[in-house]
Structures are given as C-alpha cells and as structure tokens.
Amino acid sequence: MPSVVGLLEQHELAARRRVDGLREEADRVQAELAAAEEEWQEWAIARRRVGTVLAPDNGNIAVQEAVHGSQDADTRSAPGQAAKPKSQVPVWREGLAWSVLSVDYQRILTAIADRHRLHQGPLTCQELAVIFGLDAVPAKVEALRSKAKRLVSRGWLAERQPGRFTLAQGVAGQDGAS
C-alpha cells in the first residue's frame, strides 16, 4: 500500500509538470505575440511612410501651417492637414494649431480636452488606452505615457499629479481650439 506522503509527492510532481508545460506554452505564445506585434508595427510604419511620400508637398502641410501661424480651430482635425506620425512635437505657444502635431498626439489632446470640457478631471494613460480601444497592457500604456510626457515637456499638457494628465493652462484656456 502506497504511503500518503508518496501519493502527495506524485500529485505534486504531476502538478509541477503541468505548470512547467503551461509556462513553456505561455513563453511560446508570448514570443509569437511579440513577433506578430513587431510585424504589425512594421506594416503600420510602411503605410505611414507611403502616406507621407504621397501627401502634397511631401507631407509638409503642417510645417507650412505652423510657419504661417494659422489659428483656425477647425484645422486641427481637417483631413490631409495633420502632421505625419513620428513628427517633432513643437513647444506650445499662443495660436499654434493642433495640426502641427501627429495624429497620435492630436488624439491624446482631444481625449484630454473632452475630459476637461466635461469637468471630469485628469486622465491616466491606462484610461487613454481604453478610450483609444487599446489593450491596457504595459507596452501600450508606456507608449501613451511617453507621448503624454513629451506633450508635458513641450507645454501642451500638464501633469499636476504623477501619471494624471490635463491640458496645460494656456491650451486649456482656449477650450481645445489651439
């Protein structure tokens, strides 16, 4: 007759083998996911670059608008007039249109401006991820946090509490019509 301790050890060993097998499977899935995300990002970059090349004036519309000092509030969302992704984030100044920013930065400003307009307080990057329909996984949240911090350093946003973003004073004073 087998001992109780022996039976427990057998069950423990079986459970450990199952955990090890599941960990190996999880590692394989994680590696496959990372490769798929990398491929997806490469395709997204390729699409953006083709869009930049095919845009009138090689995508310099936003730069021209910033130079000419356009103050039209509607230009921040006009199709074809937004800066291309990976563009520089200029330091905010009075009258600078949102269209000088890439679409990703404009989306962040719009979400935070909506929240400001509704008097709902600052937004976290996790909340932004959910608003944008992204999974609130660390990689996505950190990408948003990086963009939000860049907007803070350039004067577009304020971070009065760690990790909670609002429109900066001058930007907020214009009700999102920068």
- pLDDT tens digits for range 58-90: 545 444 444 444 334 343 333 333 444 455 788
Q: List, for residues 141-163, the tens digit of each pLDDT value.
A: 999 999 999 999 999 999 999 99
Q: What is the pLDDT of residue 68?
A: 42
Q: Provide φ and ψ at 60, rounded to 5°.
A: -90, 15
Please say whether the beta carbons of 116 and 167 come within 8 A.
yes
Beta strands, E only, the chain = 157-161, 164-167
Q: List the domains of the chain with CATH numbers.
A: 55-172 (1.10.10)
- Of the pLDDT bands very low, low, confident and very high (cuts 50, 70, 90), residue 2 is confident
**DSSP assignments along 89-113, one per residue:** -PPP-TT--GGGSBHHHHHHHHHHH
Q: What is the pLDDT of residue 56?
A: 65
Q: What is the pLDDT of residue 100?
A: 85
d(CA 141, CA 176): 23
Kindly give, in sequence order, each residue whose CB lies less than 8 Å from that of residue 110, ignoring residues fewer than 6 positions away.
Answer: 77, 176
Q: What is the pLDDT of residue 122?
A: 92
What is the reported pTM? 0.49
Contacts of 122-128 with CB under 8 Å at 24 or more apart are: 122/160, 122/161, 122/164, 122/165, 122/166, 123/164, 123/165, 123/166, 124/163, 124/164, 124/165, 125/163, 125/165
Q: List, for residues 103-144, the tens digit of each pLDDT value.
A: 888 999 999 999 888 888 899 999 999 999 988 899 999 999
| pLDDT reading at 9 higher than 90 | yes
| pLDDT reading at 41 higher than 70 | yes
